[in-house]
């Protein structure tokens, strides 16, 4: 089996006459014309001829490498950001459970009282203060944003 490589012009604009594959004295398995429009040679693979110029394919490869490099940098930046955010989330977690605002009330005498002690008869002022707060927050608002009396 043999194939013919037609004549072509090299990138330096020199004409190369056509030849048959395999070349006399060359590898007998290289029976197919391979390469590009401006660089041709004999090889074993029948699907290795590309109807483009070698320079075009080279720039196409460089473009693909640049695109893949940019994608790799963006992926790396994303992974670094995720790792930093995870570290910050774990590092800034509170070490104990935050119970929110304290539920103690300070009376006019400066005594701190928990609202559940309002039924305690020894501290009636705190119980009245707690009831006063409960009434104020439960009273409906009038149309002007003020509590109704």
Write down the H helix ranges in the chain.
54-91, 124-138
Q: Which residue is it, tokens 């995870």?
A: 86
Task: Kindly state the tokens that stand for 134.
Answer: 């409960």
* Distances from the Cα of 69 to the Cα of 38, 63, 72, angstroms: 29, 10, 5
Rounded to two decimals, what is the model's pTM? 0.38
Domain boundaries defined on the chain? 3-43, 105-138
pLDDT digits (tens, 9 = 90+) for 65-112: 899 999 999 999 999 999 999 999 988 877 777 666 666 666 666 666
Strands 3-5 and 40-43: unpaired
């Amino acid at each position: 089996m043999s194939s013919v490589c037609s004549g072509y012009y090299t990138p330096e604009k020199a004409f190369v006459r056509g030849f048959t594959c395999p070349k006399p004295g060359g590898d007998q398995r290289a029976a197919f014309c391979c390469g590009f429009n401006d660089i041709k040679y004999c090889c074993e693979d029948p699907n290795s001829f590309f109807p483009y110029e070698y320079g075009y394919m080279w720039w196409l490869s460089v473009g693909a490498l640049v695109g893949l490099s940019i994608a790799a940098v963006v992926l790396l930046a994303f992974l670094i950001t995720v790792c930093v955010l995870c570290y910050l989330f774990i590092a800034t977690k509170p070490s104990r459970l935050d119970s929110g605002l304290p539920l103690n009330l300070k009376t006019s005498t400066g005594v701190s009282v928990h609202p559940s002690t309002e039924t305690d008869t020894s501290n009636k002022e705190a119980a009245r203060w707690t009831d006063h707060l409960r009434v104020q927050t439960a009273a409906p608002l009038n149309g002007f944003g003020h509590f109704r009396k």
